[in-house]
Amino acid sequence: MQNRMMITGAGSGLGREIALRWARDGWRLALSDVSEAGLQETLRQVRAAGGDGFVQRCDVRDYSQLTAFAQACEVKFGGIDIIVNNAGVASGGFFSELSLEDWDWQIAINLMGVVKGCKAFLPLLEQSKGKIINIASMAALMQGPAMSNYNVAKAGVVALSESLLVELAQQEIGVHVVCPSFFQTNLLDSFRGPTPAMKAQVGKLLESSPITAAEIADYIHTQVNAGQFMILPHEQGRMAWALKQKNPQALYDEMTLMADKMRAKAKQSAH
């Protein structure tokens, strides 16, 4: 390990906090995002925290931008030790309201963006015997109502991570997948949904989170060092996942009630 890390979606939120957590250990960070201003601010904070690195604008939908980013890591750092596929966007709406374009957009960024990140950086990770950290979501495991496209994309990230865990073990490449619940974030800036009421409901969920992005980054740091594959930073998330494994029907019943409540609320705000 030469302490070199790449992060997508590093311009804000969890991506920035992960950068800062590893920067405190003196790591060199390759930071990418679609927001130039966000990247510059993250780099400034990384340097203040004791790390260093460079920024490169990168849209994870475009494989050529990711391979160019990997080349930059090779030129500037001589390789990479950990990649963090964190870039993501939020969306919501009942299945009947979601357009196929909503599906394409969600899958292109939240799932294929991670696939492309892994693919572009795999040659460097084979050299360093490095680690992959994919950021999924509790939505991947719990499939809450009115966010089917998000649930499916994030469940894909978990399935990809499980596949890579077993396929890359022989090459001694470590794989981790993180499933945070909602936390205080600017994810809503990118939110796409059919109704303003839906955005307001998701916003309430995000704000009610008892845990900050910085605390999640800290938890990821600890669990990655401990060699934990599936990382669930929220205690409520760990409890919900344990319940689903024991008694899935109880969880489906709970989610069905939640869907009924959301429909009733949406009807109210429509009048």
**Residues that are catalytic:** 150
List, in order, residues 6 or more apart from 177 with CB less than 8 Å away: 133, 134, 135, 136, 157, 158, 161, 162, 229, 230, 231
Closest CA relative to residue 103, chosen from 124, 89, 83, 123:
89
> Which residues, listed in sequence order, are joined to residue 135 by a DSSP beta bridge?
178
Strand, coil or helix: what is 84? Answer: strand
- What 8-state DSSP symbol labels residue 230? E
Q: Dihedrals φ, ψ of 178, to 5°?
A: -110, 130
Phi, psi dihedral angles at 226 (to 5 degrees) = -85, -5
* Cβ contact 98:149 at 8 Å: yes
